Structure 1
Amino acid sequence: MSNKKKSLTPEHEFLGIGKSFAYGLQHVLTMYGGIIAPPLIIGAASGFSSMQIAQLITASLFIGGLATILQTLGIKYFGARLPLVQGVSFASVGTMVGIATTGGGFNVVLGAVMGAALLGLIIAPFFAKIIRFFPPIVTGCVITIIGISLMPVAVRWMMGGNSKAADFGSVENIGLAAMTLIILLVLSKIGNETIRRLSILASIIIGTLLAALMGFGHFSNITDGAWFALPQFLGFGAPVFHAPAILAMLIATVVILTETTADIIAVSEIVDTTVDDKRIADGLRADMLSSAVAPLFGTFMQSAFAQNVGLVAMTGVKSRFVVAAGGVILVVLGLLPVMGRLVSAVPMPVLGGAGLVLFGSVAASGIRSLGKIDYSQQKNMIIVATSLAVGMIPLANNAFYAHFPRWFQTLFHSGISATCIMAICLNIMFNHVRVKRTMIDHHQLTKNVIKKPLH
């Protein structure tokens, strides 16, 4: 029995129910802002009332929790069995808003998500075959850009979250974020290992309490509304299938498959475990199955959350059962709107202060991978430099591809997918394509040349 325990890789370690749920709550708090943002945006674009948007959020939490449990615990052919949190993908938000406003309405959005997800379920095993094109030089670039691309999210949270709010970017908001950051750093310095691992959660809780004492946040409406509510099956009506909308969503789905593949590889490196094309395919199928079921409850495409990969890197808690516990918490939040309101009451600057370190740790993991590369070979320098530079373009100017075709914008508007595509292509170009050279053998040349006799 002891030999069996010793043979377990870190992701299969069970830490006990108490620790699993404590660490799992950290994952929920880390990704909560990200999982509720898409339904807020799409609901507003669809002209929904606040009650309907609340229903979208509840459904997103519930399905995200079930998807996380499937991804972490897994069944045959579904689930990578890695510490990956699932939730509504931000990569498809632009496409869904376009469909909702000009392409047929909300029910066409649901049909496009379901249709594209079913097609994604079919291509997932073939997509996973590209694992051999993800050596450290590719994964290092992708992991680094994941962390860099998340930094604007942390900065926006630090400033208050809502750019239209009067206090957005105020000294008070940024000061609260800085206070949370300082608390996190102090807790990370403490010798007790449990406190260090819970530093993210503890800093968010302490920061929230301090925010309440200072008059930040809106905690008075936590008890308003229903305390328990079941997600409604077809609560927004049946999905409507339009071929153009499905095609547009399929392009976004390819981006999601790319990003999820990158997240699976990133977390496997952090956990120090092996992934092959079969395990990646299982993870992608879990993504697509969850995404196909989601529209039946009024929510959208699911994918792995990159910010939670950073949490695994920072805390060193690598157990998939911890993330599964986070999935259970998400399901409960989806059933208990009052708990959702409690978590959503955490001020954005508090999340931003913690997110600054959290997302930075993702980039640090990528830099560590890139540190293994031999830069004395010029081709490696070119691959890394070009891939990261292309990934930075949409971060530097999000209107850079405004005049390009919609499918191109969908692929390259995300710095993560842009870096991933560029790194794969350059790696193939420099390391897999062999240019045939015409070798001239001097001896053969002199042998074949007809020499004129000297007269």
Structure 2
Amino acid sequence: MKLLTRPANPKYRGRPEDQTYGVGTLFTYGTQHILTMYGGVIAPPLIVGGAAKLSPTDMALLVTAGLFISGCATLLQTLGIGPFGSRLPIVQGISFASVSTMVAIASDGGVRPVFGAIIVAGLIGLVVSSFFAQLVRLFPAVVTGSIITVIGLSLMPVAFQWCMGGEGVKNAGSMANIGYAGLTLVIILVISRVFQGTISRLSILIGLVAGTIIAALTGHADFSPVADAKVVALPQIFHFGTPTFNVGAIVSMTIVILVIMTETTADILAIGEILDTEVDAKRVADGLRADMAATAVAPVFGSFPCSAFAQNVGLVALTGIKSRFAVAAGGVVLVGLGLLPVVGAVVAAIPYPVLGGAGIVLFGSVAASGIRTLSRVDYHDNLNMVIVSVAIAVGIIPIAAPTFWDAFPSWFSVIMHSGISATAVVAVVLNLLFNEVTAGNKPGASVFAARESELDELGDTLDDELRGEKRPVANSRRAPKGVSNALEDVPAVDGPQPSIG
């Protein structure tokens, strides 16, 4: 399967993003975008629905609602209505950044307080969209990288619970369940390694399909609810009941919304650079308004916060297909899938162990994305290492010690029980105290900053030694006691040398 790329002579309407093609071509390119992000958009409803202990029928409705809202949000973002929409080729989908917070809320009170928190937080985000550019400085890479890393780490227990067969099942942790998870993981890894282009990008989706087929053939998949699902139906309004409003949940979700807005802003700026088109503050604000409007409306139909999908921004760069109308065609495909409850029923019938195998890769890639962001942070002569270490440590408390915050007031425990919220609060506060408040700062004054410099120098020296080049640590900055002598004794290795770092 070959990746579809831009034809030689597209039609233009002035700006790069306004180029257009024939209807068939637009929908072909649009479908490619949907296949790229489909696995990511169906995972959050399954995770939150499982945490809320919803029935298979209700989880199917969550999936179709997510597809429907993602399609509507994509159309609003790409085509625009007045001040809503950046009018750029950006795919919108259910945000992973909100999952751990929603799981924390849903585990205690079900989905109704989740929906209430999303509505209020979405409206707050809509209000601040116009001047959010002034708030972005509160979320530099040291903050967002820490948050994204914890998002991935906090989701890993979900993946492993799925691998065991789900919560409360009789055969949890059986070799059969873990075997299906392992098989799905192997399929995804093989496809990622052997194939290139579109097939490789669809490895998670293909792994889910293949793992489900194998489970069904061996009698470990139940598709009986699919027979009861309607083929076509309009989304139901407040199917899960009217939202409830909890102060702690709202505060926690508002923090998440600010993170989502930061990610969407970054994606809008990135797509502007890829397209070589003008993206000013007004256009960013228009894009954020579309994001937040879709988020605020999503709970009405039983769905969750929306954000720009970064993997689709990468797809635009890879294929050279810059048309926002192609992405809008993909939005139409999503809306169509959201009107087919039978699709949601099929997705909800995927066995948990199969989902777990895919979840290891999917959630792990989120953590890896955060680590990649942290790799761009400057750690020299500052306290960024302290910010990252403390923020991540606090963020994994709910994983390492789930009852840690139980004795605190309920509104506070709701915030801190979510790893992403706890990380965001700590990282933002420490960044303000250590980086924004510069009074009294002295270069190299911190033992953490000094040790970072020493370790960098030590790493460079080790790299040179393994390459057979002589550069003793003693001739550079002073290394930790005993290390320089050990490195000086490392012999040069003949032949081709490995590349470190």
Question: Structure 1-normalised TM-score?
Answer: 0.74
- Of 208, 216, 232, 2:220 maps to 216
CA contact (8 A) 2:83 2:286 kept: yes
Alignment of structure 1 residues 69-218 onto 2, 5 Å? 69-71=75-77, 74-79=80-85, 81=88, 82-86=90-94, 89-90=98-99, 91-92=101-102, 95=105, 114=119, 117-160=122-165, 162-218=166-222
Q: CA deviation at 1:388?
A: 1.5
Aligned AA (2:146): C
Match of 1:450 in 2: none
Match of 1:354 in 2: 358
Q: CA deviation at 1:324?
A: 5.8
Alignment of structure 1 residues 243-258 onto 2, 5 Å? 245=245, 247-248=247-248, 250-258=250-258
CA contact (8 A) 2:267 2:310 kept: yes
Task: Show CA shifts across 1:163-204 (max 9, x none).
Answer: 111122221121111111111221122254232222222222
Task: From the superposition, tell whether residues 166 and 210 of structure 1 become closer, same or farther in structure 2 (CA, over 3 Å).
Answer: same
Secondary structure of 2:383 counterpart: helix
2: distance between equivalents of 1:171 and 1:272? 49
Task: From the superposition, tell whether residues 316 and 167 of structure 1 become closer, same or farther in structure 2 (CA, over 3 Å).
Answer: farther
Match of 2:290 in 1: 286
Alignment of structure 1 residues 25-104 onto 2, 5 Å? 25-38=35-48, 58-71=64-77, 74-79=80-85, 81=88, 82-86=90-94, 89-90=98-99, 91-92=101-102, 95=105
Q: CA deviation at 1:36?
A: 4.2
CA contact (8 A) 2:149 2:369 kept: yes
Task: Show CA shifts across 1:4-29 (max 9, x none).
Answer: 99x969xx999953354245135233
Match of 1:448 in 2: none
1: distance between equivalents of 2:20 and 2:379? 37
2: distance between equivalents of 1:348 and 1:325? 32
CA contact (8 A) 2:59 2:348 kept: no
Percentage identity across paired residues of the two chains? 42
Task: Show CA shifts across 1:107-133 (max 9, x none).
Answer: x98677545543442234345522123
C-alpha RMSD of the superposition:
4.3
2: distance between equivalents of 1:188 and 1:412? 36
Secondary structure of 2:402 counterpart: coil
Aligned AA (1:67): A
Q: CA deviation at 1:214?
A: 2.1
- Which consecutive residues of structure 1, in runs of 5 or more, have no partner in the other structure? 438-455
Task: From the superposition, tell whether residues 409 and 375 of structure 1 become closer, same or farther in structure 2 (CA, over 3 Å).
Answer: same
CA contact (8 A) 1:176 1:349 kept: yes
Larger mean Cα displacement after TM superposition, 348-357 or 276-285: 276-285
Task: From the superposition, tell whether residues 96 and 175 of structure 1 become closer, same or farther in structure 2 (CA, over 3 Å).
Answer: closer
1: distance between equivalents of 2:402 and 2:236? 36
2: distance between equivalents of 1:323 and 1:401? 44
CA contact (8 A) 1:60 1:334 kept: yes
CA contact (8 A) 2:146 2:374 kept: yes
Q: CA deviation at 1:92?
A: 4.3
Task: From the superposition, tell whether residues 209 and 371 of structure 1 become closer, same or farther in structure 2 (CA, over 3 Å).
Answer: same
Alignment of structure 1 residues 367-446 onto 2, 5 Å? 367-435=371-439
1: distance between equivalents of 2:401 and 2:106? 22
Aligned AA (2:379): Y
Task: From the superposition, tell whether residues 202 and 301 of structure 1 become closer, same or farther in structure 2 (CA, over 3 Å).
Answer: closer
Secondary structure of 1:169 counterpart: coil
Match of 1:334 in 2: 338
Aligned AA (1:153): V
1: distance between equivalents of 2:394 and 2:76? 34
CA contact (8 A) 2:231 2:341 kept: yes
Q: CA deviation at 1:87?
A: 6.0
CA contact (8 A) 2:104 2:417 kept: no
Q: CA deviation at 1:273?
A: 5.0
Match of 2:305 in 1: 302
CA contact (8 A) 2:20 2:26 kept: no
Task: Show CA shifts across 1:59-111 (max 9, x none).
Answer: 4543343234434655444346544412695434655776779xxxx6x9867
CA contact (8 A) 2:208 2:355 kept: yes
Secondary structure of 1:304 counterpart: strand
2: distance between equivalents of 1:409 and 1:220? 40
Is 1:343 aligned with 2:343?
no
1: distance between equivalents of 2:375 and 2:298? 40
Secondary structure of 2:396 counterpart: helix
2: distance between equivalents of 1:23 and 1:170? 37
- Which consecutive residues of structure 2, in runs of 5 or more, have no partner in the other structure? 1-8, 442-501
Secondary structure of 1:356 counterpart: helix
1: distance between equivalents of 2:384 and 2:313? 28
Match of 2:261 in 1: 261
Task: Show CA shifts across 1:366-401 (max 9, x none).
Answer: 222322334342512212211221212222222222
Secondary structure of 1:385 counterpart: helix
Q: CA deviation at 1:282?
A: 4.0
Task: From the superposition, tell whether residues 325 and 35 of structure 1 become closer, same or farther in structure 2 (CA, over 3 Å).
Answer: farther
Larger mean Cα displacement after TM superposition, 179-188 or 28-37: 28-37
Q: CA deviation at 1:209?
A: 2.0
Aligned AA (1:66): C
Q: CA deviation at 1:301?
A: 4.7
Question: Structure 2-normalised TM-score?
Answer: 0.68
2: distance between equivalents of 1:248 and 1:270? 34
Secondary structure of 1:85 counterpart: strand
1: distance between equivalents of 2:58 and 2:350? 22
Give the aligned length: 419
RCO greater where, 1 or 2, for CA within 8 Å and sep 6 or more? 1
Q: CA deviation at 1:254?
A: 1.1
Larger mean Cα displacement after TM superposition, 380-389 or 186-195: 186-195
1: distance between equivalents of 2:388 and 2:102? 27
Q: CA deviation at 1:363?
A: 2.1
